[in-house]
Amino acid sequence: MVIIFQDRRQAGLALAQVLRDELEEELSAGDAIVLGLPRGGVPVAFEIAHGLHLPLDVFVVRKLGVPGQEELAMGAIASGGMVVLQSDVIAAFSIQKETIDAVVARERLEIQRRETAYRDGRPPARLDGRAVILVDDGLATGATMTAAVRALRPVARRVLVAVPVAAAGTRDELQREADRVVCLETPEPFHAVGEFYRNFDQTSDAEVRALLAQARSETPAA
């Protein structure tokens, strides 16, 4: 196993340096915003927003876990209700529509809870017509990021994906969904995002709220 990053914030610092050069056109327009996918994507996104002097918000996406094997994604649901399903996983486990619907309903409630908890009553940032930089701590299947990209397509001027590490095949698939994908590393073999971090402790709701509050104090309103 190869350790690439010390922790999420160090990964965000490394990614910010690359994005400063790679996204010159998007940044020059003056309307870009960074959206972290909670929870693990937010510490990465914070360092990017801080380094590029951009506003930060969250875009809540929830994995739809296979019942009994919740770490395995059979799809994802994003803020606004966009659902992306992994048909190969669903077929492999013979998952019935009623089961999928029940998981979707449960995760939709969790999205609502997190939207309320993270923003402390503040409305979501305005996204229409803007260049949106979607950030996560890494991509394995890419289901959650795909759901986020598709949900933002109808409103954002451009949708960009920025991650420190990803499976090569997943990165390639996302390049067909997003306007641009910036990924620092695509190591092989790739089993899980956490294997490439020395510290991959779970990010808490409290940490997400603290980072959003700090970002609001440092940058103009989103």
Q: Output the pLDDT for position 115.
A: 85
Q: Output the pLDDT for position 214.
A: 94
**In the listed set 72, 96, 117, which residue is the last one of a domain according to the structure?**
117
- Whether 222 is in a domain gets the answer no
- Whether 3 is in a domain gets the answer no
Rounded Cα distance, 12 and 39, in Å: 14
Q: Are residues 163 and 98 in the same domain?
A: no
Q: Are residues 155 and 206 in the same domain?
A: yes
Q: Are residues 145 and 200 in the same domain?
A: yes
- Whether 172 is in a domain gets the answer yes
- Whether 1 is in a domain gets the answer no
- Whether 2 is in a domain gets the answer no
Q: Are residues 22 and 111 in the same domain?
A: no
Q: Domain of 180: which CATH number?
A: 3.40.50.2020
- Whether 122 is in a domain gets the answer no
For the sheet with 83-85, list strands across it: 61-66, 69-78, 83-85
Q: Are residues 56 and 67 in the same domain?
A: no
Residues found in the chain: 222
The token pair at 206 is 């409290």
Q: Are residues 82 and 177 in the same domain?
A: no
Output the tens digit of pLDDT for each of the chain's 222 residues.
578 999 999 999 999 999 998 888 778 778 899 999 999 999 999 999 999 999 999 999 888 999 998 878 898 898 878 888 889 999 999 999 999 999 999 999 998 888 888 887 788 889 999 999 999 999 998 988 998 999 898 899 999 999 999 999 999 999 999 999 999 999 999 989 999 999 999 999 999 999 999 998 887 555
Q: Output the pLDDT for position 66.
A: 92
Q: Output the pLDDT for position 124.
A: 85
Q: Are residues 108 and 135 in the same domain?
A: no
Q: Are residues 34 and 94 in the same domain?
A: no
DSSP code per residue over the chain: ----BSSHHHHHHHHHHHHHHHTHHHHHTS--EEEE-TTTHHHHHHHHHHHHT--EEE--EEEEEETTEEEEEEEEEETTS-EEE-HHHHHHTT--HHHHHHHHHHHHHHHHHHHHHHHTTPPPPP-TTSEEEEE-S-BSS-HHHHHHHHHHTTT-SEEEEEEEEB-HHHHHHHHTTSSEEEEEE--SS---GGGGBS--PPPPHHHHHHHHHHHHHHS---
Q: Are residues 109 and 184 in the same domain?
A: no
- Whether 69 is in a domain gets the answer yes
User: Which residue from 156, 63, 67, 153 is spatially nearest to 108, judged by alpha carbons?
Assistant: 63
Q: Are residues 56 and 133 in the same domain?
A: yes
Q: Are residues 98 and 169 in the same domain?
A: no
Domain count, the chain: 2
Q: Output the pLDDT for position 24.
A: 81
- Whether 156 is in a domain gets the answer yes
Q: Are residues 190 and 153 in the same domain?
A: yes
Q: Output the pLDDT for position 160.
A: 96
Q: Domain of 71: which CATH number?
A: 3.30.1310
User: Which residue from 62, 57, 60, 82 is spatially nearest to 74, judged by alpha carbons?
Assistant: 62
Say which residues have a Cβ less than 8 Å from residue 164's Cβ, sequence separation at least 6.
Answer: 4, 5, 11, 12, 14, 15, 44, 137, 138, 183, 184, 185, 196
Q: Output the pLDDT for position 79.
A: 83
Which domain, by its residues, includes 158? Answer: 8-60+127-217
**In the listed set 86, 117, 148, which residue is the last one of a domain according to the structure?**
117
Dihedral angle over CA of 129, 131, 135, 139, nearest 10: 90
